[in-house]
Amino acid sequence: MSTVRYSIAVAALAVVSAGCVVQETRPLPQMQATQATQEVGEERLIDVGIRLFDPGIPKEVEEDPEKADEERIYPEIRRAEARYIPTRLRETLVGTAQWGAVRVVPSQVDSTDLIVSGEILESTGAELKIRVRAEDATGREWLDKEYEGPADTRSYREGGNLGRDPFQNVYVTIANDLLAARKALSDEQLETVQRVADLRFASGFAPAAFEEYLGKDDKTGRYEVIRLPAENDPVLERVAAIRERDENLIDTVSDGYTAFSERMDEPYSNWRRYTYDEIKAEEKLKAQARTRMALGALAVAAAVLVPDSCGSSNCARITDAVRYGAAAGGVAAVMSGLKKREESKIHTETLKELSSSFESEAAPLVVDVEGRTLRLTGTAEEQYAEWRRLLHELYVEDTGLARGSSVADGASGATSPGAG
């Protein structure tokens, strides 16, 4: 009887194992960002600066390639994504016609009407999770939230929706949340945001000249307009001219990031599609390996436990055959599971190779701005800082301040709005 029960149990487990398969993700509903249905008033056309994202690379992953494989965090990919994701979000915002100028900007830019920053928490071909924060020029927080979503696999299929980013729903949700935050503010509040942004930029060059116009609340930490300078204020006119040059440079930098995004789009799309396939294949193989090894162990154990209580030589031969067959089948199942695990490792290595090849394909861009060459990589922030120093030199030439002084130190020599 025990032999029969054993045979039935093994058969039942085999049926269960046959049903252990990874199910395909259903196509996601395709969300659309809220479009402007009529012309948006000038006071509500807030300019948006989207900073390059924090790639979210843990120190231990940066230092240990094996840890990178284990966590599926590839530094070379993450650093490229830190430029790519802000560009995708920018395109989504621009497409709504709800905003003023929308740019991807270096982290030093802090005097735009609205600054959006973010961090990549998880990014694979199967899942995207990011944290996004938005704060306007007055210091008011608009957003501080985590966004995540699975890939829309239609973007990965031949003849599928290849023109749509697999994580477009994530960008759409962020865009709609930003719009909701803007709608919660009055026209007067939004006008104040724009004025504060202008005054913050001006005070960066001439703090003493603009300290009587711009204040900061000690309790809330928010900037506020104390009073407005005269429209024909000479210092304001000089700073306005410098700001126009700065915005032109930022436009060029933002266009460079857009071009970089377009250039990396094909290899990155391939990487994400292959990564998705690899992840799903690896998950399936691991599940099969675990099942086969578990069933094999059970079969071996059951073979050992087959009772020896037989009253005839014929019964003994049957018992030995059952024990041998179960043990042999169990060992074969364990070996099959180990083989599947090795196949899983091969897929992991494929991911690593894809990441390395992607890094070489998605090379940084080099742009020329007013005779100055800027290399748009992780050091673009330093390049922008150099540009701001150049702007300060131009301001020094216009105002007669001592050469070599810092923005703050040089401007502190001004004693009135008309100084210099």
- Are both 316 and 369 inside the same structural domain? no
Region for 366 from its dihedrals, namely left if φ exceeds 0, alpha if ψ lies in -120 to 50, beta otherwise? beta
Domain hosting 384: range is: 365-411
The reply to whether 337 falls in a domain is: yes
388-413 pLDDT, tens digit each = 877 777 677 767 654 333 343 433 33
Record the pTM: 0.72
- Are both 371 and 292 inside the same structural domain? no
Q: What's the Cα-to-Cα distance from 142 to each of 101, 135, 138, 179, 270, rounded to whole Å?
A: 18, 5, 11, 10, 35
Mean pLDDT on 116-137: 95
Does 344 score more than 50 pLDDT?
no
The reply to whether 271 falls in a domain is: yes
CA-CA distance, 59 to 68, in Å (whole number)? 10
CA-CA distance, 299 to 153, in Å (whole number)? 39
Best-predicted range by mean pLDDT among 183-187, 258-262, 382-386? 183-187
Which of 361, 379, 400 corresponds to the end of one domain? 361
Phi, psi of 133 (to 5 degrees): -130, 140
Which of 335, 361, 387 corresponds to the end of one domain? 361
What percent of the chain is predicted at pLDDT more than 90? 31
Does 139 score more than 90 pLDDT?
yes
Mean pLDDT on 102-114: 91
Q: Rg of the chain's alpha carbons, rounded to an integer?
A: 31
- Are both 203 and 290 inside the same structural domain? yes
The reply to whether 416 falls in a domain is: no
- Are both 261 and 294 inside the same structural domain? yes
CA-CA distance, 141 to 133, in Å (whole number)? 8
- Are both 393 and 301 inside the same structural domain? no
Asked if residue 46 lies in contact with residue 182, where contact means CB atoms within 8 angstroms, the answer is yes
**Length of the chain (residues):** 420
pLDDT of residue 155: 84
pLDDT of residue 12: 43
- Are both 262 and 371 inside the same structural domain? no
Does 340 score more than 70 pLDDT?
no
pLDDT of residue 146: 98
- Are both 399 and 292 inside the same structural domain? no
Mean pLDDT on 39-49: 94
Does 141 score more than 70 pLDDT?
yes
The reply to whether 418 falls in a domain is: no
The reply to whether 199 falls in a domain is: yes
- Are both 380 and 324 inside the same structural domain? no
- pLDDT: which is higher, 417 or 53: 53
User: How confident is residue 130, by pLDDT bands cut at 50, 70 and 90?
Assistant: very high
- pLDDT: which is higher, 32 or 388: 32
- Are both 233 and 381 inside the same structural domain? no
- 3-7, 37-41, 244-248, 270-274: lowest mean pLDDT where? 3-7
* Parallel, antiparallel or unpaired: strands 372-376 and 365-369: antiparallel
Average pLDDT, the chain: 75
The reply to whether 233 falls in a domain is: yes
Which of 338, 361, 384 corresponds to the end of one domain? 361
Best-predicted range by mean pLDDT among 73-87, 101-115, 287-301, 345-359? 101-115
pLDDT of residue 405: 39
pLDDT of residue 40: 93
The reply to whether 349 falls in a domain is: yes
- Are both 4 and 40 inside the same structural domain? yes
Q: What's the Cα-to-Cα distance from 160 to each of 28, 171, 198, 266, rounded to whole Å?
A: 13, 20, 46, 15
- Are both 296 and 397 inside the same structural domain? no
The total number of structural domains that make up the chain: 2
The reply to whether 420 falls in a domain is: no
- pLDDT: which is higher, 49 or 357: 49
- Are both 76 and 222 inside the same structural domain? yes
User: How confident is residue 39, by pLDDT bands cut at 50, 70 and 90?
Assistant: very high
